[in-house]
Structure 1
């Protein structure tokens, strides 16, 4: 299997643990970007979300990842393995 593939969760209905990380990400996106601006077009919103995701993955240091960005942390894990 390719490392970039996602694996579908197979937990039972009503088990929210699989959704937690995604809910946390959308909460951060809304509080750090969405609620701070007013968007007048769909294209403006789409560009802002795309830019935030690029910022989040490549430039936003996260304490829980040892003060690394998600991309740096992934590269670190690949080198350790």
Structure 2
């Protein structure tokens, strides 16, 4: 995973942190660690259950996960 030429390994994580910062942290300017923690919890809940992702066919990560899990239970 590390080494020269392996930038692609980290691109998805970096993209998620960029989304988090631009969609939540920079807009809200949390003043305390407690506020930040609550805000991050709220954002990640939104990100996984309500925010639609173009890479997932405009579906939420939760919908994709539970759809795959139900197919595995049937098989």
Q: Give CA deviations for 1:19-59 in whole Å, capped at 9, x if unaligned.
A: 11100000000110011112111110111111101110011
Residue aligning to 2:19 = 28
SS in structure 2 of the partner of residue 45 of structure 1: helix
Segments of 5+ residues of structure 1 without an aligned counterpart are 1-10
Segments of 5+ residues of structure 2 without an aligned counterpart are none
Query: TM-score, length-normalised on structure 2?
Result: 0.81
Ranges of 4+ aligned residues in structure 1 off by more than 4 Å: none
Taking only aligned residues, the RMSD between alpha carbons, in angstroms, comes to 1.5
When you count helix as a share of all residues, which structure comes out higher?
2
- Size of the aligned set, in residue pairs, is 71
Query: TM-score, length-normalised on structure 1?
Result: 0.76
Match of 2:28 among 37, 45, 50: 37
